[in-house]
C-alpha cells in the first residue's frame, strides 16, 4: 500500500513536472506527427497554441501530458487540416477569447467543425494585421500574409509569428512557400526577421518552403522541423542542406519527439528533446571559419631594453628591419642583433 502511494505520488510529481515552469518562457514544438502545433507559455503562465496538428485525440493527449491549464489565444497559421484539427479540442476545452488567423475561410469539413466549435466557445476571429500581442512579458509580433497572395491559397497566406523575450527570438511561419517569403523579404523593414535563435522549418521541410535568400535574412541558429510519417518526402534533402549551409542545428519531431525550448529572463535558452536521441541532422555544423585578419607578429613599436629581454621573448637573433631591432642591440653592426 505504502509502495502504491509512493508510486502515485511519483507519477503525480512527473505529471506536474511536465507543466511549463513559472518564471521562464517555454516553447514546445509538440510531436503531432505530420503537422504543426506549437505551445508557447509565458513566464506568467499565459499560453498560446499556434496550430494544433492533424489529430483531435493526439492534441487531447498532449494537453494532458503537458498539463495545460488554460489557453489565452489560439492561432491558425492557415486553414489546412494538419494545422487546425487539434485546435478543435483546444477551443472546446479552453474557450479562448480569440482565434488569430489569416481570414481565408477553408472549404473543408475540418474547417466547418472548427468554426462551429468556436461559435459554441464564444471565440472570436482575430484577423492577422501587424499586431503586437503581449503574452505576459513575452512579445508576439504578427506577420500577416503580404498583399497580393492568391486569395484561395492557404499555404501562401500563412500567418507568421515572431516570439521575443529578452534577447531571445523565435520565428514561426506555418507553411509559407517561396512566393510568400519573397514578398515578405520585399516588404518587411530590414532587421525584422533575423537573426533568430529558434526557427520553425517552413512547411515540414518541403522543397518549396525555405530558400537560401530567406534563410540569409532569418539567420537561424536552430531549426525545428515539425514532421511525421508522410508521402511527400518531408523533410527534403533540399531543405536539410539549406539548414546545414547556414550552420544551424536541426531538431526533428519525427526522430526526437516534442522539442522544448526554455528561455530564461534576459534570453539565455536551452533546447531539450523528448527522446533525446541526437541525429546526424541535429549535429550543429559550424560555419566555415572566416580568415583571421593579418596582423603583424609583434607590434611595430616594440622595444627591448637588452638582449636578455629579446631572448626571453624568443626573438633572437633580431634582424635589421624586424620589430624591436635597434643598432644599440647590434654591437657588431652586422644586421643581426643578440646573436
Contact range with Zn ion by CB under 5 A, out of 123-131, 174-182, 220-228, 298-306: 174-182
Integer Cα distance of 125 and 114 in angstroms: 11
CB of 33 to Zn ion, least distance (A): 11
The answer to whether residues 222 and 199 touch, using CB atoms and an 8 Å cutoff, is yes
Which is nearer to Zn ion, 146 or 205 (by Cβ)?
205
Integer Cα distance of 210 and 56 in angstroms: 28
For residue 139 the three cell numbers come to 512579445
Contact range with Zn ion by CB under 5 A, out of 19-27, 130-138, 167-175, 213-221: 167-175
Interaction residues for Zn ion, span 48-107 (CB under 5 A):
82
Integer Cα distance of 192 and 217 in angstroms: 9
Contact range with Zn ion by CB under 5 A, out of 55-63, 137-145, 171-179, 257-265: 171-179
Integer Cα distance of 177 and 179 in angstroms: 6
The answer to whether residues 145 and 152 touch, using CB atoms and an 8 Å cutoff, is no
Q: Is 210 in the site for Zn ion (CB under 5 A)?
A: no
Q: Which residue reads 501530458 in cell numbers? A: 65
The answer to whether residues 161 and 50 touch, using CB atoms and an 8 Å cutoff, is yes
Q: Which residue reads 502504491 in cell numbers? A: 4
Which is nearer to Zn ion, 31 or 175 (by Cβ)?
175
Which is nearer to Zn ion, 47 or 176 (by Cβ)?
176
Contact range with Zn ion by CB under 5 A, out of 117-125, 129-137, 173-181, 310-318: 173-181
Q: Is 175 in the site for Zn ion (CB under 5 A)?
A: yes
Which is nearer to Zn ion, 175 or 197 (by Cβ)?
175
Which is nearer to Zn ion, 175 or 330 (by Cβ)?
175
Which is nearer to Zn ion, 225 or 307 (by Cβ)?
225
CB of 249 to Zn ion, least distance (A): 22
- Applying CB under 5 A, the site for Zn ion has a residue count of 2
For residue 271 the three cell numbers come to 533546447
CB of 37 to Zn ion, least distance (A): 11
For residue 200 the three cell numbers come to 520553425
Residue 323: burial class (beta carbons within 10 Å; 0-12, 13-18, 19+): middle
CB of 138 to Zn ion, least distance (A): 24
CB of 155 to Zn ion, least distance (A): 8
Integer Cα distance of 332 and 182 in angstroms: 72
Binding residues for Zn ion, rule: CB under 5 A, are 82, 175
Amino acid at each position: 500500500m505504502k509502495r502504491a502511494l509512493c508510486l502515485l505520488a511519483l507519477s503525480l510529481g512527473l505529471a506536474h513536472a511536465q507543466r511549463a515552469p513559472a518564471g521562464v518562457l517555454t516553447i514546445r514544438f509538440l510531436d503531432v506527427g505530420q503537422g504543426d502545433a506549437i505551445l508557447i507559455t509565458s513566464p506568467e503562465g499565459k499560453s498560446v497554441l499556434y496550430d494544433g496538428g492533424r489529430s483531435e485525440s493526439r492534441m487531447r493527449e498532449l494537453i494532458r501530458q503537458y498539463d495545460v491549464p488554460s489557453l489565452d489565444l489560439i492561432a491558425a497559421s492557415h486553414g489546412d487540416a494538419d494545422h487546425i484539427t487539434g485546435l478543435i479540442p483546444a477551443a472546446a476545452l479552453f474557450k479562448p477569447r480569440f482565434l488569430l488567423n489569416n481570414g481565408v475561410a477553408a472549404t473543408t469539413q475540418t474547417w466547418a467543425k472548427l468554426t462551429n466549435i468556436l461559435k459554441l466557445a464564444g471565440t472570436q476571429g482575430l484577423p492577422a494585421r501587424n499586431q503586437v500581442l503581449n503574452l505576459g512579458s513575452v512579445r508576439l509580433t504578427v506577420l500577416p500574409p503580404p498583399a497580393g497572395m492568391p486569395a484561395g491559397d492557404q499555404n501562401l497566406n500563412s500567418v507568421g509569428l515572431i516570439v521575443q523575450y529578452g534577447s531571445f527570438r523565435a520565428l514561426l511561419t506555418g507553411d509559407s512557400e517561396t512566393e510568400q517569403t519573397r514578398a515578405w523579404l520585399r516588404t518587411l523593414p530590414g532587421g525584422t526577421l533575423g537573426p533568430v535563435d529558434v526557427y520553425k522549418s517552413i512547411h515540414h521541410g518541403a522543397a518549396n518552403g525555405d530558400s537560401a535568400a530567406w534563410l540569409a535574412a532569418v539567420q537561424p541558429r536552430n531549426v525545428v522541423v515539425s514532421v511525421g510519417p508522410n508521402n511527400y518526402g518531408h523533410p527534403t534533402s533540399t531543405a536539410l542542406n539549406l539548414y546545414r549551409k547556414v550552420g544551424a542545428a536541426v531538431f526533428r519531431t519525427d526522430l526526437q519527439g516534442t522539442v522544448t525550448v526554455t528561455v530564461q529572463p534576459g534570453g539565455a535558452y536551452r533546447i531539450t528533446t523528448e527522446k533525446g536521441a541526437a541525429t546526424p541532422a541535429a549535429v550543429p555544423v559550424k560555419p566555415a571559419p572566416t580568415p583571421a585578419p593579418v596582423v603583424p607578429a609583434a607590434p611595430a613599436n616594440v622595444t627591448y631594453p637588452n638582449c636578455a629581454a629579446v631572448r626571453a621573448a624568443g626573438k633572437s637573433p633580431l634582424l635589421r628591419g624586424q620589430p624591436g631591432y635597434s643598432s644599440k642591440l647590434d654591437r657588431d653592426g652586422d644586421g643581426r642583433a643578440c646573436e
